[in-house]
Each structure stands twice: as C-alpha cells, then as structure tokens.
Structure 1
Amino acid sequence: MRAVAPLFGRRARLRWLHLIIGGALLMPYFLVSTVLVGMASGGEQLLSSLPAQFVAFALALPMAAVTGFFALVRPLSVAAARALCGVPPALLADGPARTRQARVRAAGWYTLHLALGGIVSGITLALPPFAVTVAALPFFAGLRDTWLYGGPDALREPWALAFAPLAGLAMLVAMALVAAAAGELLARRAPALLGPTPEDRLAAAERRAADLAVRNRLARELHDSVGHALSAVTLQAGAARRVLDRDPEFVREALTAIEETTRRTVGELDSVLGLLRRDGEPDEGGEAAYGPGLDALDGLLAHCGVPVAYEREGDPGAPDNVDPAVSREAYRIVQEGLSNALRHGGGGPSPVRLLIAIRERELEIVVENPVGERPAVVRPGGGRGLRGIAERAVLLGGRTEAGPYDGGWRLTARLPLAAGRTTDGHAEEQR
C-alpha cells in the first residue's frame, strides 16, 4: 500500500481533485478563446483541429492571469490549497491580496493552477476510456475489428494483443503519475506564490506588536490596581487583628479603609475587564476607562494603609495643567510607590513623603519611604512594580529613577506634561 500511496493515497486523490477544479475554472476562459480563435480562422471547425485547440488553451491562460489580480482570488486559492494540497496553514497568507507584489503572486498561482488543471482534466477525461479499450482488445473480436481496421497487421498478432492489457494499465499509471507530479508541483509552489509577502509579514508584526502593547498595558493596570489593594488590605487586616481587643477604634478605621480600598479597586477592575471584553479597544469615552487620574489622589491617600506627607506644587489634578493620559499614568506610579512603601516600609511611625510638582515642561513625582527592619514580603517570581513604572514613563517620553536614599528608599518619576512629548533621560529599575 505504501508503494501506491503517492499515486492513489488520500493526499494524491485530494490533489487530483484540486487539479480537476482548476480545469473546471479554466473552461470559461477556454470557451471564450475558442470563439476568438474560430473567428480569426474564418469559422473553421475548432473541435476538429488539434492545433487550434492548443492555441485556444494558450490564449485562455492570459485571461486567467488577469482575473488572478483581483484581491479576493488569493483567499479563495489559499482555502483550496490548505484543504486539498496538504500545505501547512502557517506557510500561506491570510486575507485578500492588497499589495502589487501579492497580486502578482496570486495571479501566478491562479494561472499555474488552471494550466495544470486543464491538462490533467483533459487527460482524466480522455485517457481512461482509451486505456480500457486497449486493455480489452484481446477479449473482444468485434472491438478489434473496429479499432484495428486499416491498421498495421502486426497489431493483430497474438503477441501484440498479449501486451494490450499491460499497455492499458501503463496508460492509467502514467495518468496517475502526471496528476501526482502536477499536484506536487502546486504544493511546492504554494508557499512562494500564496505565502505572505514582506508587506504581509510587516502588517502581521504590527498587529502582534499592537496586541502585545494592549496586553502589557492591561497587565500593568491589573498589577498596580489589584496589587496595591491586596497589599493595603493585608496590612490593614493584620494590624487590626493584632489590636482587636485593645483598640476597637483602630479596628473600625482599618475596616473602613479595607472597605474603601476594595470598593475602589472593584470599580477599577471592572473598567479593565470591560476593555478585555472589547479586545482591548477603548470605548466611546476614550482611554479614561483605563483608570483614575491625579484628581482621585485624595481618595487613594486616605485609605492607602500608610501615613503620607503629601506636598504639591501647582494643581496636578487639573486637566488644563496635566494631560489626562499623563495624569492616569502618574496616578498608577504613585499607587505603585505606595504599595512598595507598604511592603518594605516596616510599618513604622515615619510617614511616606510624596511630592508632586508641575515644572515648566514636566511633572515630577517623588516618593520617599523609610525601610523597616522586618523583611519585605517576597512574592513568587519577584516584583514587577518598578518595571511597570519604568514602562509607563518611557511610553510617555519620561524617565524614572529608584534606589536607596539616606537610609530609606526614593522613587522619582519625571513625565512630560503632554502625552508623547519626549524628554532626555532614561529609566532605571533597581528594586
């Protein structure tokens, strides 16, 4: 069975069918060309002239090539090649042919498919009856009298008739070989003619980069929002548990802070999940669904779980002073800085110092916190907060710095007042 699989196996049969479809698609062009050739030859009977049929076949191929330039020819050809030629789907392009190079390749494939399909279809229609008739000559005298009438006497010899069945079988095998070779040729040329062009690859890379950027941004939003909330809730709950019997008022305040933090975080989480349900595209209100801005900073500071000494220069919450996109990213940077203070500050009485200043061309954010003696909570896989802060700043054209400072820790971020405005500098990740 393995010996005949290349000729009569499932893949060979599907490719043969693909070629037959190509022959059927060629027929309209062939019929038009037969009319043109007949008119040029003065009305000569075309079907009785084999050379005229070859001329009509050759004339039909340029017509097919012109049709192949239509954009939708490529997706239809790709679908047929994937289903019938056995070509791996990853090697073929998706979508209509938009560029000139893609259209030329698709036209070349379409013409090759129809040319080979016309040849194989003609052989498939004409050769089997002839081969069967040749194979049956030794067994039917009347058939011999009809077919061999006027032919060489040598064909009537017993030894010649003995080879007739083998000759008929050889014709059928030769037909299968031609069909298999044509199918293999199409399968080998499919990646070159129907595969993605450099423009297709560039467009696909741009789509992947855009999707990755959206996923990374959503991941940062989830990390900063949910991570901060969990850190604050964990520390507030732990502190309340320790003084549950001694200081009910503190426990009440801690529970209130937990309630406010979780309520705010659920709202932010709903916004991010709404973007995920819309495949990461902003809604009609723009990008505001990504999260709050600096105008919501007072609520964050009131329930962040650590005392904060807040200083500001200018009014960073006003949209006329700071671009809304910058304001949202600045809010997340402050939120992550406070989360770091919760995890690493040690719970001492010293407040976290927060400075937000509007300079001439940039927004400056400084978060300073003492480092406690108790070890920080280590998360599996390590923290990604400072990496996310640096990414946010770089995407806006800003820069960040983070590291030890006077026995504590300082995080500094400088962002342009308007999104997209670049400033000199670089981002560092040290924690």
Structure 2
Amino acid sequence: MPRILAPLFDSATYARWLHLVIGLVFVGVVLMVYPGIEGWSRAELLARAVPVDAALLGLAALVPAMRRAEGVQARLLLVPDREQDIAVEPARSWADRRRTAAWLVGRVALGGLVGGASVLVPAAVLDLVARPEHGVFGLRSGGPGWAPLLAPVLLFALGWLVVWAGRLQLAMAVRLLAPSAAERLAAAELRAERLLERNLLARELHDSIGHALTVTVLQAGAAREVGDPAFAAKALEVIEETGRRAMDDLERTLALLRDPGDHGSTGGTGSGADARERPGIDRLPALFETARAAGSPVEALIDTPSGGLPGVLSREGYRIVQEGVTNALKYAPGEPISIRIAVRDGSLELRCANALRPHALRPPGARPHGAPARSGGPPRRGGKGLRGIHERAVLLGGEATAGAESGEWVLAVRIPLRLGG
C-alpha cells in the first residue's frame, strides 16, 4: 500500500503536473485564436487545432534559444535523477532542432491530455457529490446510492495518470533534450581541463611547501646539533626567507583558486609582487643559496638564451629543479648537488645529480646503486614529487628519467622549446 500511495504525495509528482498543465495552456491559447471555441464539436476542434499547433511548435523549435529554455524548465519541473541528462544549451545543429520540435509536439500532446483530465475529473467528482442522481460521463446511476463512492476512485485514477504521465514526460526529455555528442565531448574536455588545473595546483603546493618544510627541518636540526649562536642565527634567517617564499607561493595558489579565470595582477601580499607571478629559472640562484645554507654544496651551470625562455618553460623548469634539489636535501643531506641547465638541439635540458650515501634512504621509486636509470615514466610507487616532474615534462611534450647512475642519483629532463614538439 505505501508503494501505491507514496508517488501520489511526492513533491516531484506535482512539479511534473505543473509542467504538463503548461501544455494545456498552449493548446487553449491556440484554440481561442484559431479556430475559436464556439460552434465546433470536440472532433472538429481537434482536427483544426492539431495541424496549427504542430506548425507553430515546429517554427518555435527553429529558434536556438528554445532548446535552452525547454531544458531549463525540464530540469526545474521534471526533477530528473541527474540534471546533466537534460541539456541547457541552445540548438547548434539541425538535429538539435528536430529533436526540440519532436519534444515540443510530444510535450504539448501529453500535456493537453493530462490537462484536460485534470479539468474534467474534478468537475465530474463535484457532480457525483452534489448531484449523484445525474451520474457521470453519461452513465446514469439511477439513484444517489453508489455514485458518491465513485469519486475517490476517479481522483485516485487521476493521481496515477499524473504520475505515469510525469514519468513519461521525463523519459521524453532525457531522450529528446539530452546533450548531443558534441556537447558531451565539450563537457568531457571541460572536466579534463578542470582536473588538469587541480593537478597543477596540487603540484605547485607539493613542490613549494615540500621544499620549504624540508629546508626548515634541516636548518632547525642543524642549529640544534651545532649549538653555535651565529650558526643558529643564520639558520633562522634561512628559515624566515624560505617561509616567506612559501607564503608567496601559497598566496599565488589561493589567488588562482579564488578567481581561476583572471590571471592579471592582484597586488598580492608578502613581498608585494604580483600574487599570480610564478617563479622562473631566473629565481634559481636564490634556491641554490638556500640549499647551500642547508649544508649541501651546489654547483650550477645555467646556459640559456640571452632573450630568456618561454614563460611556461621557465616556470616549469624552476619547479623541476626545485623538486630535484628538495629530494637531494631530503635523501642525501650534505652531499654536493650538481645542476646543469642548457638549451641544445632545440630542447631545454635539465640535469640534477647528487652523490648517494651508501646507507642513506633512497628517494621513493629509486633503484639500488649501480642499477640503470629508468627510461621515462614515473616511479612505480611512492615518489609524488618524481611523478609530478614526469607529468610536467609530458604535458610539455618532453620526457623525464630518474635513477641511480655510478653512485649518483640523477634526474634528467628534456623539453622541446617548441611545445608539443
């Protein structure tokens, strides 16, 4: 019994009922204009009104915005399980217009049927209660005895007519107003673009904050072990500078999250620079100084064109080198770090190498000493930073390798200057 009565008290049923009744309103307006409602039988009215209704609806479907309007209305009143099953985009092709025309004709026909029943059945129920001896729908009761008992049956039947008509209307909307193949492709591309943006922000935070925390931990530990006030003061200075840069990076990321569509200047906070401006290769000397202050000698050779690199290459190159230096500080603290950045054969080549301690922890995904470096591909497990480097290189049409070579951990990245080449 609850399964039979529950749909009759569902709010979605009445929202769909309203959507259906709108179809009757359209039919009524057309009838009043042509051929008029006086002097015609019901069969004659239908014979004259149906072609006119169909023609008007077909013309309305030619307007691109009609598909959008019908989609928005269907989402609001038909209460679909998934709103994305019904498109809210204007018609862009003749196939869209044909489906919109079929939807309009079907919607008005079904709405006219349910709307007519919604008017006739309540009127018949009132007649049964007020004048039971007259019967209903042409049926004579012969007396007032059984006629009022028919009233709840009629109302129940009307309720379930609305339920089934609403479900049918929803099925029609999902079928005829569904996104086209081009719209589904565009939606998939948008989801992929947003996923890439989220991955970019995740990589930015991992690289920047991870580097800052690594340097902070190393400096604090060294200051505690050495116990020299001058060394401790220098360590605190490095921690302060590293934390300030991390705060700038965090502000840039938060600015993108607040307004991802605007890449202009916001004035920012912290150092006062543009909150959206990401560091490039020209900022690497400061990074190397931080590593040296943490106790790891850095030998760097940067050979790039005098005119500079394309912005995206410079920014991604900085993050790649930053991750390489962070790994060296984390897994081989105090060991020399060798950095080589050069442009050769139309590509930007970056190489970061550091000596491996025999008993030091290897970076996640690293092979034992003497094992060949992996050719392409991120580590099989762990190593989020190395996976991030691989993703950065691949997105720019390049490649990245990382592994142990002759007692050194070597990170090598090659990215074409012509992106995607």
TM (normalized to structure 1)?
0.79
Q: Does 1:116 align with 2:97?
A: no
2:299 to 309, 333, 336: 309
Percentage of matched positions with identical amino acids: 36
Please state how far the C-alpha of 1:104 moved relative to its aligned partner: 3.0
Please state how far the C-alpha of 1:132 moved relative to its aligned partner: 3.9
Residues 369-416 of structure 1, C-alpha deviations (whole Å, 9 max, x = no match): 01124543989x943111111111111111111110111211111122
In structure 2, distance between residues paired with 1:378 and 1:406? 16
2:348 is matched with 363
Residues 182-228 of structure 1, C-alpha deviations (whole Å, 9 max, x = no match): 22321222221233222221111111011111111111111111111
Unpaired runs of at least 5, structure 1: 36-44, 423-431
1:39 is matched with none
The structure whose Rg is larger is 1
Indicate conservation of the 8 Å contact 2:299/2:339, yes or no. yes
Residues 264-308 of structure 1, C-alpha deviations (whole Å, 9 max, x = no match): 2222222222111113653369x9935111111111111123210
C-alpha distance 168-390 of structure 1, shift in aligned 2 (>3 A): closer
- Report the secondary structure of 2:284's partner residue: helix
1:394 is matched with 394
2:375 is matched with none
2:18 is matched with 17
TM (normalized to structure 2)?
0.81
- Report the secondary structure of 1:347's partner residue: coil
- Report the secondary structure of 1:204's partner residue: helix
Aligned residues: 392
C-alpha distance 163-364 of structure 1, shift in aligned 2 (>3 A): same
1:49 is matched with 41
In structure 1, distance between residues paired with 2:125 and 2:190? 55
Q: Does 1:28 align with 2:29?
A: yes
1:224 to 207, 222, 240: 207
Q: Does 1:266 align with 2:266?
A: no
- Report the secondary structure of 1:357's partner residue: strand
For 1:96-135, list aligned pairs within 5 A. Answer: 96-100=89-93, 101-133=95-127
For 1:17-416, list aligned pairs within 5 A. Answer: 17-34=18-35, 46-58=38-50, 59-90=52-83, 92-100=85-93, 101-133=95-127, 137=131, 139=133, 158=142, 164-165=147-148, 172=155, 174-244=157-227, 247-279=228-260, 281-283=262-264, 289=276, 291-304=278-291, 305=294, 306-312=296-302, 314-315=303-304, 318=306, 320-348=307-335, 351-373=336-358, 375-376=360-361, 382-416=382-416
Residues 41-93 of structure 1, C-alpha deviations (whole Å, 9 max, x = no match): xxxx8543333311233121331233244344344434443444342134533
In structure 1, distance between residues paired with 2:3 and 2:63? 41
Instruction: Give the AA of the match of 1:117.
Output: G
- Report the secondary structure of 2:317's partner residue: helix
C-alpha distance 294-103 of structure 1, shift in aligned 2 (>3 A): same
C-alpha distance 170-394 of structure 1, shift in aligned 2 (>3 A): closer
Please state how far the C-alpha of 1:135 moved relative to its aligned partner: 6.1
Indicate conservation of the 8 Å contact 1:6/1:180, yes or no. no
C-alpha distance 268-3 of structure 1, shift in aligned 2 (>3 A): closer
Instruction: Give the AA of the match of 1:399.
Output: E
In structure 1, distance between residues paired with 2:314 and 2:8? 68
C-alpha distance 23-337 of structure 1, shift in aligned 2 (>3 A): same
In structure 1, distance between residues paired with 2:390 and 2:205? 16
In structure 2, distance between residues paired with 1:132 and 1:8? 20
C-alpha distance 332-248 of structure 1, shift in aligned 2 (>3 A): same
- Report the secondary structure of 2:250's partner residue: helix
C-alpha distance 255-16 of structure 1, shift in aligned 2 (>3 A): closer
Indicate conservation of the 8 Å contact 1:309/1:354, yes or no. yes
Instruction: Give the AA of the match of 1:359.
Output: R
Unpaired runs of at least 5, structure 2: 267-273, 365-380
Please state how far the C-alpha of 1:174 moved relative to its aligned partner: 4.9
C-alpha distance 23-155 of structure 1, shift in aligned 2 (>3 A): closer
Instruction: Give the AA of the match of 1:24.
Output: V
C-alpha distance 23-311 of structure 1, shift in aligned 2 (>3 A): same
1:429 is matched with none
Instruction: Give the AA of the match of 1:241.
Output: R
In structure 2, distance between residues paired with 1:262 and 1:377? 26
- Report the secondary structure of 2:170's partner residue: helix
Indicate conservation of the 8 Å contact 1:78/1:92, yes or no. no
| Of 293-302 and 110-119, the range deviating more from structure 2 | 110-119
